[in-house]
Protein backbone atom coordinates (compact mmCIF):
# COMPACT_ATOMS: atom_id res chain seq x y z
CA UNK A 1 0.00 0.00 0.00
CA UNK A 2 1.36 3.41 -0.94
CA UNK A 3 1.81 6.10 1.69
CA UNK A 4 0.46 9.51 0.64
CA UNK A 5 1.52 12.77 2.26
CA UNK A 6 0.32 16.31 1.53
CA UNK A 7 3.35 18.60 1.48
CA UNK A 8 4.22 22.22 0.85
CA UNK A 9 6.55 23.06 -2.04
CA UNK A 10 8.37 26.27 -2.82
CA UNK A 11 9.25 27.58 -6.26
CA UNK A 12 12.20 29.88 -6.85
CA UNK A 13 13.66 31.42 -9.97
CA UNK A 14 17.36 31.52 -10.70
CA UNK A 15 19.78 32.00 -13.59
CA UNK A 16 20.11 29.17 -16.08
CA UNK A 17 23.91 29.00 -16.22
CA UNK A 18 26.63 26.58 -15.17
CA UNK A 19 27.05 26.57 -11.38
CA UNK A 20 23.82 28.42 -10.55
CA UNK A 21 22.13 25.39 -9.03
CA UNK A 22 25.32 24.56 -7.13
CA UNK A 23 25.25 28.04 -5.55
CA UNK A 24 21.60 27.63 -4.52
CA UNK A 25 22.29 24.21 -3.01
CA UNK A 26 25.39 25.43 -1.17
CA UNK A 27 23.35 28.25 0.37
CA UNK A 28 20.72 25.73 1.51
CA UNK A 29 23.42 23.54 3.04
CA UNK A 30 24.95 26.56 4.81
CA UNK A 31 21.52 27.29 6.31
CA UNK A 32 21.16 23.59 7.19
CA UNK A 33 18.00 23.14 5.11
CA UNK A 34 17.32 19.45 4.46
CA UNK A 35 15.26 18.53 1.41
CA UNK A 36 12.75 15.81 0.65
CA UNK A 37 12.34 16.75 -3.02
CA UNK A 38 14.04 18.88 -5.67
CA UNK A 39 13.18 19.59 -9.31
CA UNK A 40 14.78 22.13 -11.62
CA UNK A 41 13.78 23.18 -15.12
CA UNK A 42 15.02 25.71 -17.66
CA UNK A 43 12.02 27.89 -18.49
CA UNK A 44 13.40 30.30 -21.08
CA UNK A 45 16.84 31.39 -22.24
CA UNK A 46 18.84 32.37 -19.15
CA UNK A 47 16.06 31.53 -16.66
CA UNK A 48 15.22 28.43 -14.64
CA UNK A 49 12.77 27.44 -11.93
CA UNK A 50 13.52 25.31 -8.91
CA UNK A 51 10.84 23.44 -7.00
CA UNK A 52 11.77 22.32 -3.49
CA UNK A 53 10.08 20.31 -0.75
CA UNK A 54 11.93 20.89 2.51
CA UNK A 55 11.80 18.74 5.60
CA UNK A 56 11.30 22.00 7.54
CA UNK A 57 9.26 24.28 5.24
CA UNK A 58 9.40 27.27 7.61
CA UNK A 59 13.20 27.15 7.67
CA UNK A 60 13.40 27.05 3.86
CA UNK A 61 10.92 29.89 3.57
CA UNK A 62 12.92 32.06 5.98
CA UNK A 63 16.17 31.24 4.17
CA UNK A 64 14.82 32.04 0.72
CA UNK A 65 12.99 35.17 1.87
CA UNK A 66 16.34 36.59 2.97
CA UNK A 67 17.72 35.99 -0.52
CA UNK A 68 14.59 37.11 -2.35
CA UNK A 69 14.27 33.75 -4.13
CA UNK A 70 10.72 32.61 -3.33
CA UNK A 71 8.34 33.15 -6.21
CA UNK A 72 5.48 31.05 -4.96
CA UNK A 73 4.49 28.26 -2.67
CA UNK A 74 1.90 25.58 -3.04
CA UNK A 75 0.91 22.10 -1.99
CA UNK A 76 1.22 18.74 -3.65
CA UNK A 77 1.36 15.08 -2.72
CA UNK A 78 4.24 12.70 -2.08
CA UNK A 79 3.34 9.10 -2.80
CA UNK A 80 5.81 6.41 -1.75
CA UNK A 81 5.90 2.70 -1.23
CA UNK A 82 7.12 -0.62 -2.53
CA UNK A 83 8.02 -0.65 -6.23
CA UNK A 84 5.66 -3.00 -8.03
CA UNK A 85 3.67 -2.94 -11.27
CA UNK A 86 0.74 -0.55 -10.90
CA UNK A 87 1.98 1.01 -7.66
CA UNK A 88 0.43 4.40 -8.55
CA UNK A 89 -2.80 3.08 -10.07
CA UNK A 90 -4.89 3.38 -6.90
CA UNK A 91 -3.96 7.04 -6.45
CA UNK A 92 -4.48 7.83 -10.13
CA UNK A 93 -7.84 6.05 -10.17
CA UNK A 94 -9.08 7.88 -7.07
CA UNK A 95 -8.16 11.27 -8.54
CA UNK A 96 -9.64 10.40 -11.94
CA UNK A 97 -12.92 9.17 -10.48
CA UNK A 98 -13.19 12.42 -8.49
CA UNK A 99 -12.65 14.44 -11.69
CA UNK A 100 -9.34 15.87 -10.42
CA UNK A 101 -6.81 16.56 -13.17
CA UNK A 102 -3.10 16.07 -12.53
CA UNK A 103 -0.99 19.02 -13.72
CA UNK A 104 2.35 17.19 -13.42
CA UNK A 105 3.76 14.00 -11.96
CA UNK A 106 7.30 12.83 -11.29
CA UNK A 107 8.22 9.35 -10.15
CA UNK A 108 11.36 7.31 -9.58
CA UNK A 109 12.06 3.81 -8.31
CA UNK A 110 15.24 2.88 -6.45
CA UNK A 111 16.17 -0.18 -4.43
CA UNK A 112 12.70 -1.75 -4.40
CA UNK A 113 10.88 1.46 -3.40
CA UNK A 114 9.23 4.20 -5.44
CA UNK A 115 8.53 7.84 -4.79
CA UNK A 116 6.30 10.19 -6.72
CA UNK A 117 5.27 13.82 -6.50
CA UNK A 118 1.91 14.95 -7.85
CA UNK A 119 1.04 18.55 -8.69
CA UNK A 120 -2.63 19.53 -8.98
CA UNK A 121 -4.55 22.69 -9.65
CA UNK A 122 -4.23 24.61 -6.33
CA UNK A 123 -8.02 24.79 -6.09
CA UNK A 124 -8.22 20.99 -6.07
CA UNK A 125 -5.70 20.19 -3.30
CA UNK A 126 -8.27 20.16 -0.49
CA UNK A 127 -10.64 17.95 -2.48
CA UNK A 128 -7.79 15.61 -3.44
CA UNK A 129 -6.79 15.37 0.24
CA UNK A 130 -10.31 14.24 1.08
CA UNK A 131 -10.43 11.76 -1.82
CA UNK A 132 -7.00 10.32 -0.94
CA UNK A 133 -7.68 10.24 2.80
CA UNK A 134 -4.82 12.62 3.63
CA UNK A 135 -4.79 15.47 6.19
75-132 maps to CATH 3.30.70.260: yes
**Of the candidates 57, 65, 76, which has an alpha carbon nearest to the alpha carbon of residue 117?**
76
Per-residue pLDDT of the chain (135 residues; tens, 9 = 90+): 799 999 999 999 989 999 999 999 998 999 999 999 999 999 999 999 999 999 999 999 888 888 878 778 999 999 999 999 999 999 999 999 999 999 999 999 999 999 999 999 999 999 999 999 998
**Domain positions in the chain:** 8-74, 75-132
Q: What is the pTM of this model?
A: 0.88
Measure Cα distances from 95 to 1, 3, 81, 86, 134 in Å. Answer: 16, 15, 18, 15, 13
Architecture of domain 8-74: 2-Layer Sandwich (3.30)
Amino acid sequence: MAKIERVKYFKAGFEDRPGALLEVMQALKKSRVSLSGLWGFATQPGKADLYVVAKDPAKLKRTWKRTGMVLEEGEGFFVKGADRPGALLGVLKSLSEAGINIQALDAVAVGGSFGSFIWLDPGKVREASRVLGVK
